[in-house]
Amino acid sequence: MTWTREKIKEYLTLCNTKVAQPDLRGEDLSDLYLTGINFFGANLRGANLSRSILNECSFINCDLSGADLSKVNAISAHFTHANLDHADLTWANFKGADFYLANLTWAFLDKTSLELAKLNALKIAIQDRFKLVMYPTLDGWMIYADGELATTLEILLEIAKGEMENRPIPGREAQMEELLALAPYLELFSKKYHHFLTAIQEAWSKND
């Protein structure tokens, strides 16, 4: 089927009437004007939404794992509790979007614009070993690993800075391991540490 804005709206309305989950897995929804459409709870696993206009769309509780959202405009869109595991968000514009408790595990975030985006809390799984949830506070980002407070993001970054200057901090091995796994995400929250986060990632890659 060749999808259009009208066909998508009709399908979503039909699913809502039948109280059925919209199933758009692997569908080609690219290059479409979809502003304001409510995809609540839809299965969009592996769907291609690249270059589409998604401003003010609702993707609350949607499965967008492996989906292609590259080069989309999703200004003020809602991704609360959405699963964006391994989704491609490169060159996308999410200005003012809401990612409350969205799962961004291994999402591709190169050149992604998150200006004024609401990153109230993020869920990230690290190497299938434990789950992290990150919350912003007045004292910095708080990281919970499997429900237990791990440390602040700032402390993790200071640990990294010590490692890069060959001044390892005793007893910090576990936190350092977490930091290395989190490195692809940390730049989003603290631009001033970009120089040594990049170095960490390069060093980590050489050790693989």
pLDDT tens digits, the chain, 208 residues: what are they? 799 999 999 999 999 988 899 999 999 999 999 999 999 999 999 999 999 999 999 999 999 999 999 999 999 999 999 999 889 998 999 999 998 888 887 788 778 887 777 776 666 665 555 566 766 666 666 666 656 665 565 665 565 555 555 555 555 555 556 565 665 555 555 554 555 555 555 655 665 5
- In this predicted structure, what is the pLDDT of residue 75? 96
Residues 112 and 144 in one domain: no
Provide the CATH number for the domain around residue 35.
2.160.20.80
For residue 203, the enclosing domain spans: 126-208
Instruction: Beginning with the edge strand found earlier in the chain, give each strand of the sheet holding 102-103 in spatial order.
Output: 102-103, 122-126, 130-137, 140-145, 148-152
* In a shared domain, residues 53 and 86: yes
| Count: domains in the chain | 2
Q: How many CB atoms are located within 10 Å of the residue 18 CB?
A: 8
Task: Find, among 139, 146, 149, 204, the residue nearest to 177 by Cα.
Answer: 204
Q: Of 120, 150, 177, which residue constitutes the final position of a domain?
A: 120
Q: Are residues 64 and 144 in the same domain?
A: no
